[in-house]
Amino acid sequence: MKIKLLLATLGAILLSGCQSDDERPTLVVQRFFGECGAVYGKSIDVGKAETECGIVTTMLNRFAAENPDINVKVNIVAWPGYAQLSAQIAAGDPPDLVTMHQSVISDYQARSLLEPLDEMLADAGITTEMLTPAGQRGTIKDGRLYALPWDTIGRLWHINTALMAEAGLMRNGKPLLPRNPEELIDHARKFKAATGKPYLVQAQVAAPDYLVANLYTYLLAQNAVVFPDARHIRLNTPEARKIVGLYRTLNEEKLTTVAQDFPSATANFVNGGGGIFPTGTWMIGPYEEAARSGTSALKGYAVAPFPQLWGQSAAFVDGHGWVVPKDDRSSAERKAIVRFLSFLARYNSDWTRTGHLPAFNAVLSSSSFTQQPHRRDIATMAATGQQLPGFVQRQSAIQGLIGEELEAAVSGVKPIDRALADAERRVNELLSQI
């Protein structure tokens, strides 16, 4: 009898362990942007946080602190985390909110794996008109909003003005930027002759998307129709050949760094290794800080959108957004999501300290944004920045395929014509299988 009682008690204890006593709605937030718990693990002062990781970590901490009635669980995934997300969705266990590049949204939206967010955003007090044109273009698919746009990210020319001055490429305190491809080569040669350093710092190793951003930008500048429809790409064109030819000349004459990966190129620029580093908006903060510190080899710093080498001014942009994968959710869980979306919108201004452009018009015109260094120089990108057409799926895989062929073309391994034809064939084959 005693043994039976003991077993029954033991069983009851074990079973009680299986039952959760937390009846709050659970919000599983999955994000990339890195792990920085050691520095920001307990921080809730969003205004004092710096860097993508620091700001997003602090924001999530703050949301959890402000909403004790919601059980917030945060999954930090290695960038970009889409393989993990796909596996979670395939297993029927998706998170509630996920960071997603706007260029990736079409993949999931076309397979009906994402919730349209129009209603939830309206409940959170967010209307389409409040969003920047670039933010809208990145998140509206088939007339519906599939994400809360969070920023606009694009490539800029980060410029070492001290070295540009040494090369005689400054006028009235501003860098003299080329107005056509011939002028770019001319500037690059002058720069190298004067400083002994390459004009461009570029990440050309293990960074296939790097060259693709240049190609897309200058194709958009020439009004080229890159994707005539959802099943075809048009790459082997005179416009594309001109662009790739320019970058090949830069490589051939060693007017650019050729053997650097992204971390090396990033460090090389701050160490005064070259004149201009065409890279993302997210580097404005660190480079501005380095230039101001006085201890770095970066003695002067300016930033500008890509120069207009062909046709018109253009910028190929992407952006981050918050999406909600489809799942069965209770009313309380949906309300928790709405609160989170509203919270995110409130802190969009803080996010711009990363260097990214805001997703909200009000932030774009606010002094908290415009008074940050160099932001006035790049603010136009939030309106003019263009993405690929919304019907183009697998944009990340497509960038990988094109980047691989561009690497071969720019480094001289393949003739430009053949590389572009191969890229076109490979992308068309991929698109035909969707």
Interface with other proteins by CB under 8 A: which residues? 82-83, 86-87, 89-90, 107, 111, 113, 204-206, 208, 257-261, 264, 267-268, 394, 396-397, 400, 404-405, 407-408, 411, 413-414, 426, 429-430, 433
* Distant-in-sequence, close-in-space partners of 292: CB < 8 Å, separation ≥ 6: none
* Distant-in-sequence, close-in-space partners of 295: CB < 8 Å, separation ≥ 6: none
State the DSSP string of 350-364: HHGGGSPBPSBHHHH
Cα 76 from chain centroid (whole Å):
17
- Which residue lies nearer to other proteins by CB, 86 or 136? 86
CA–CA dist 216, 202 (Å, integer):
16
352: tokens are: 């711009």
Tell me the three-class secondary structure of 62-95, residue by residue: HHHHHCCCCEEEEEECCCCCHHHHHHHHHCCCCC
CA torsion, points 60, 61, 66, 70, in degrees to nearest 10?
70
What does each C-alpha distance from 258 to 197, 220, 254, 274 come to in angstroms? Answer: 12, 25, 7, 12
- Which residue lies nearer to other proteins by CB, 352 or 395? 395
CA–CA dist 159, 174 (Å, integer):
10
- Contact criterion met (CB below 8 Å) for 268 and 201: yes
CB of 380 to other proteins, least distance (A): 33
CB of 414 to other proteins, least distance (A): 8
- Contact criterion met (CB below 8 Å) for 416 and 241: yes
- Which residue lies nearer to other proteins by CB, 189 or 425? 425
CB of 120 to other proteins, least distance (A): 23
CB of 282 to other proteins, least distance (A): 20
CB of 390 to other proteins, least distance (A): 18
CB of 4 to other proteins, least distance (A): 32
CA torsion, points 388, 393, 394, 395, in degrees to nearest 10?
0
- Which residue lies nearer to other proteins by CB, 65 or 87? 87
- Which residue lies nearer to other proteins by CB, 167 or 410? 410
CB of 187 to other proteins, least distance (A): 23
- Which residue lies nearer to other proteins by CB, 82 or 282? 82
- Which residue lies nearer to other proteins by CB, 318 or 405? 405
